[in-house]
Amino acid sequence: MADHQQKTHAQQTQDHPHHPDMKMPDPEQVSKAMSNIAERSQRLVNDFLTRQATNTDTSTDPDPMNVGKAFMEMTSRLMSNPAKLVEAQMSLWQDYMSLWQNTARRMMGEQAEPVVEPDRGDRRFKDESWQENDIFDFIKQSYLLSSRWLTSVVHDVDGLDDKTAQKVDFYTRQFIDALSPSNFVMTNPEVLRVTAETGGENLLKGLEHLLSDLERGGGKLRISMTDETAFEVGRNVAVTPGHVVYQNDMMQLIQYTPTTEKVAQVPVLIVPPWINKFYILDLREKNSFIKWCVDQGLTTFVISWVNPDEHHKDKSFEHYMDEGILAAIGAIQKQTGTEKVNAVGYCLGGTLLSSTLAYMAAKKDDRISAATLLTTLLDFSEPGELGVFIDEDQLAALDERMEKCGYLDGADMANSFNMLRANDLIWSFVVNNYLLGKEPFPFDLLYWNSDSTRMPAAMHSFYLHNMYEKNKLIEPGGITLKGVPIDLGNIKTPMYMLSTREDHIAPWLATFKGTPMFGGKVKFVLSASGHIAGVVNPPVSNKYCYWTNNRKVKDPEAWLKGATQTEGSWWTDWREWLKDYAGPEVDARDPAKGKLKPIEPAPGSYVKVRAV
């Protein structure tokens, strides 16, 4: 009876194309949209052909990242052990047989447990049809079985060196993620449903979004992650009051307006990474680390790095130290009359701060009273998945590209970071923007993520070769700055080191290796969550926890096993630690009334320069 009803319903759908659940497209709207799409497509093609005709790039390497070489080596090793490959294929065949049997049982109305399920948190298959519809459940499980099999096969190949194995694993995952059935119209039930409900309007809008992103990227696809018109730096992000009190070719120094009558005598200097803009620490009032510091009675200064162009081609790592941190310290001394500052370095800013501290130690300069390193790599022997982009051939190709224009384009760096979380930062937007035809949701964090910065050729080449490739920072005298060999072991400055447990950019097992490198007291703290959320975790949110362990432990896992877990934000723990180095209370300092003449209101003009 049930089968008869299903067949009758299917026949009715065929006999009556104007099904009540389906919307027929408006021919006039379709014609207008297609005309607009054709015009814009033709313009993009013409622009592409013009660029090709005037392209002076003589590089002919079709595979600068050596992905093909890595997979050829993997295939050769794999084929040398045919028994293992046959065993893997038999295992996959058995899994598929179980899937066929379970699907057949479900179609006959029986209950059947899934052979494989998505990981918790995998939002690609959140639509109910992936579970409730037999066909889409089969498609989903078939994909998951194949991806699990492929991942296992390439991961278990014997004889590959670590670098090649990492590259194979990484690009295999990129391939698997790209082929998810959720990324295609005909195998995504939500897209099919919306297409039927809108008469295909979603696909037309999606095509228009695709063209807009191509136009915005100058012919390269620059996926919109958020509604960028919803935000403006200085209007609704980066709004903590203050003034730019000093600037040079490399940075603007912002001093924030106090909100307390008394402040700690020793001011705080925040050194953000120049790979991103500083306002990740000042997105909104409720989650602004900068605003919180000001409210805690800390005279707070922040470096706002310049967004480099071809004129900064020769700016080196030394320039970021000399015209960045050292210049900022000098300006703060003049502005406040204090001899010392407490410095905070975030990510790459922390690597620069550590290098600067080593240089200052060699020069007997003790103007930094205490230092804080947030998610900072010092030992680059295990840099996580970013290491997949670092090898001699890739760096040579990158150097050649940077030499031509004087910098690394911000979009190139952003794409590398997005690939680390491709499903969240690439494919989810492909589905939302292009297949579902939806507008990107306004989200300040994604606006900041899209506000990329460029890298000066000299600095970026030095950083990648000496840190990531050769790991020279941990060698005494391995790196020379302004003619001075530096040694992290000479740093006696008290250190507060924060890492985050789910960090995919600076893995905490790697950052922990930095703890024994310093010659002074070090407090290591581990926060829950990742590279951004674990740092930008205000106490009012009470969202994540953190771990502390006062014992000196060499092994990170042993450290964590013996650590004390505390609910809430590490910010309060850091503020308590800082009290010993903050000095007595003094009258609050108004940046508009200091010895340095205010140049312009915060957040300044440097941060407003966009790379794209």
What residues contact residue 252 under an 8 Å CB cut-off, 6+ apart? 244, 246, 303, 304, 306, 599, 604, 605, 606, 607
d(CA 331, CA 597): 11
Question: If you write DSSP's letter for every residue of 492-554 in order, what string do you get?
Answer: -S-EEEEEETT-SSS-HHHHGGGGGGSSS-EEEEEESS-TTTTTS--TTT---EEEE--S--S
The residue from 293, 347, 405, 545 that is catalytic is 347
The DSSP bridge pattern shows strands 368-374 and 341-346 to be parallel
Q: Which pair of structure tokens corresponds to residue 582?
A: 């903050």
293 catalytic residue (yes or no): no
Q: Which pair of structure tokens corresponds to residue 297?
A: 């009675």
Q: What is the arrangement of strands in the sheet containing 495-500, beginning at the earlier edge strand?
A: 564-567, 545-548, 522-527, 495-500, 368-374, 341-346, 268-271, 300-305, 251-256, 242-247, 600-601
Amino acid, single-letter form, for residue 293: C
Do residues 384 and 505 touch, judged by C-beta distance below 8 A? Answer: yes
Q: Among all chains, which residue has been given the structure tokens 């709004």? A: 239
Q: Among all chains, which residue has been given the structure tokens 């829950």? A: 528
Widest CA span in the chain: 90
d(CA 363, CA 554): 30
Q: Which pair of structure tokens corresponds to residue 610?
A: 């966009």
Return the active site residues: 347
